[in-house]
Amino acid sequence: MTFLQVTLFLLEGFKLSLLIFAVTLLCGAPLGLPIAFCSMSTFKPLKAVSKVFVWIVRGIPLMLQIFIIYYVPGLLFEYPLFAKIDRYFFLEYGISDTGRIVAVLLAFAINYACYFSEIYRGGIESISQGQYEAGYVLGLTKSQVFRKIVLKQVIKRIVPPMSNEIITLIKDTALANCILVCEIIKQAKELAATQALVWPLFYTGVFYLLFVGVLTIVLGRIEKKLDYFKS
């Protein structure tokens, strides 16, 4: 196989890595918000449920969570739910991992939502009470205070930890190969097995590096944009 052929073959896998990355970010980031608000709720039962949920999700290896989400519904109900969803949504994109990709996306979104929620919570709780009070004494509503005063300060504070988590995410997508989703590492292993080529496995690192490079630049710009004020 030529270098170009290997590159294209690996790129095929990296597309799937990027899909997992994008969907996790797009679903996990918003999903983290309600979890964060539940964790800060003054209603004790809700807070407790949320805390336990976050504890479980953050406490179990992501790989194990992928296994659980992929295998448990089938074991319990003998209904190939994920395969059905998979055929419906993903087949036309040429991804034929029956149910696997759906299970992976679900596991990733839930897992990262929990990590994000803790970042949000930390960011929100780090804003001094004085900022809220300054808004209240001016006669603003709670929602105005949050949207117009607190939110931007929270965003500024969570950009660095979010960047960290986002960079970790692209590398974590490699975990999908534990249930044989054809992401880039799985593709490279395929080459090792069928073509007796080992070097593509190491070559995959270049893909990650390039992507993380782009991410670093983009995230750095966002951070810089919020540099105009100190909070």
Partner 1 sequence: MAFLEIKNIKKSFGKYEVLKDISFSLEKGEVLSIIGSSGSGKTTLLRCINFLEFSEEGTISVDGETIYDGGSLHKYTDAEIRENRLHFGMVFQSFNLFPQYTVLENVTLAPKLLKRGTTEEIEENAKRLIEKVGLSEKINFYPCQLSGGQQQRVAIARALAMNPQILCFDEPTSALDPELTGEVLKVIKGLKGKDSTMIIVTHEMDFAKNVSDKVIFMADGVIEEIGTPEEVFDNPQSEKTKNFLQKTNEI
* Interaction between residue 153 and partner 1 (CB under 8 A): yes
* Interaction between residue 139 and partner 1 (CB under 8 A): yes
In angstroms, give the least distance from the CB of 145 to partner 1: 10
Concatenate the DSSP letters of all residues of 99-161 into one string: THHHHHHHHHHHHHHHHHHHHHHHHHHTS-HHHHHHHHHTT--HHHIIIIIIHHHHHHHHHHH
Closer by beta carbon to partner 1, 5 or else 144: 144
| Residue the block writes with tokens 């070097």 | 199
Q: Which of 51, 84, 148, 224 binds partner 1 (CB under 8 A)?
A: 148
* Interaction between residue 42 and partner 1 (CB under 8 A): no
Closer by beta carbon to partner 1, 150 or else 178: 150
Residues 113-132 that bind partner 1 (CB under 8 A): 128, 130-131
- Give residue 154's identity as a one-letter amino acid code: V
Closer by beta carbon to partner 1, 51 or else 148: 148
- Residue 61, CA distances (Å) to 57, 68, 111, 161 in order: 8, 11, 10, 20
Long-range (24+ apart) CB contacts under 8 A made by 97-103 are 97/180, 97/181, 97/182, 99/70, 100/70, 100/176, 100/179, 100/180, 100/181, 101/16, 101/19, 101/20, 101/176, 101/181, 103/66, 103/69, 103/70, 103/179
In angstroms, give the least distance from the CB of 26 to partner 1: 26
Burial 190-209 (b: 16+ CB within 10 A, else e): bbeeeeebeebbebbeebbe
* Interaction between residue 225 and partner 1 (CB under 8 A): no
Closer by beta carbon to partner 1, 49 or else 127: 127
In angstroms, give the least distance from the CB of 83 to partner 1: 49
* Interaction between residue 210 and partner 1 (CB under 8 A): no
In angstroms, give the least distance from the CB of 87 to partner 1: 48
* Interaction between residue 48 and partner 1 (CB under 8 A): no
* Interaction between residue 141 and partner 1 (CB under 8 A): yes
Interacting residues toward partner 1 by CB under 8 A: 128, 130-131, 133-142, 144, 148-149, 152-153, 156, 228-231
